[in-house]
Amino acid sequence: MACQTAFVVIPKVGKEREVKYIADFTYRDSEGNFIVEDAKGFRTDVYKIKKKLMLWRYGIEIREV
C-alpha cells in the first residue's frame, strides 16, 4: 500500500503548471486490480473535477471511504 500517490491529470501547458490529483491510498487487491482510495469528509467541486479527470485520463474510478 502506498500513501499520497500523485497522478498528473492535466499536463503542463506553456507556462501553466500541471494539475495533480493526490490519492490518499493506492494498492492492488487480491485479484490484482489497481485500487485508488480517497478518504472524503466533504466532496469539493475541485475534487469532483479531478475524480472525473482520473476516470477519463487513466480509467481509474476513485473509491471514496
* Confidence (pLDDT) at 2: 82
The per-residue pLDDT of the chain, averaged, comes to 95
Question: Which residues does 53 contact at the CB level (< 8 Å), separation at least 6?
Answer: 9, 10, 19, 21
CA distances from 9 to 1, 16, 19, 30, 32 (A): 21, 13, 6, 27, 23
Question: Which residues does 50 contact at the CB level (< 8 Å), separation at least 6?
Answer: 9, 19, 21
Tell me the domain boundaries of the chain.
Answer: 2-64
Give the confidence band of 40 by pLDDT, cuts at 50, 70, 90: confident
* Confidence (pLDDT) at 58: 97
pLDDT in tens, 11-38: 999 999 999 999 999 999 999 999 999 9
User: What span, in angstroms and rounded, lies between the C-alpha atoms of 13 and 53?
Assistant: 16
**What does the block give as the cell for 29?**
487487491
